[in-house]
Copies of this chain bind each other. A is one copy, B any other.
Amino acid sequence: MPLSLDNRLADRTRWKAERCSITLVLEVLSTKASFMVLRESFYGTSKFDDFVMRTGASAPTVSRSLRHLESAGVLARTPYRDEGSRPRDEYRLTAAGEDLLPVVFSLVQWGDAHLQGGAPPLAFVHRDSGEPVRVGVSAGEVFNLTSRDIEVRWSGPRLP
């Protein structure tokens, strides 16, 4: 069932190609690698090699994605230093990046529902109540959870 869209809009050809937010967002996020890196950022990954290992992408691809997301203001690169090691960079979500949680979560949710055979490997629950957490559409002020309120649990049969 489609959204109820003003007929005048539907008739105006190509307006969306230039103005629609999706077009703009896809300039930032359309590559698979960028989505993977973003997903890992939400899972807490912040170091270069961890991104490489956990996304399964090559190092150059990760490097490009990190720079691209950084220049888009989704990730921020900050120097850090472990005891006794030389300084490194770490990559953390910015506030704007945090706001992408519904995007990542809704992708996961849809895949869990329609692509995974059987139980999804990860479960997202509210940290305080333990209730399952969902992403969805609603009117009014009902959405107050951020990624820090959410805990991810392994719900599969075993770790691979």
Contacts and interface: CB of A to CB of B under 8 A. Distances in A.
Interface in A14-63: 14-26, 28-32, 35-36, 39-46, 50, 53-56
B20 A151 contact: no
Q: Identify the interface centre among A5, A44, A113, A140: most chain B CB within 10 Å of its CB.
A: A5
B54 A2 contact: no
Contact of A103 (B107, B151, B154): B107
B26 A35 contact: yes
| Interface SS of chain A | mixed
Contact of A126 (B16, B111, B125, B139): B139
Interface residues of A, number: 99
Contacts of A131: 139-140
Contact of A106 (B103, B122, B138, B144): B103
Given A36-B22, A55-B16, A137 B127 contact: no
A136 interface: yes
A92 to B, nearest CB: 8
A154 B5 CA distance: 9
A4 to B, nearest CB: 4
Interface of A: 1-6, 8-10, 12-26, 28-32, 35-36, 39-46, 50, 53-56, 73, 93, 96, 98-116, 120-122, 124-127, 129, 131-140, 142-148, 150-154, 156, 159-160
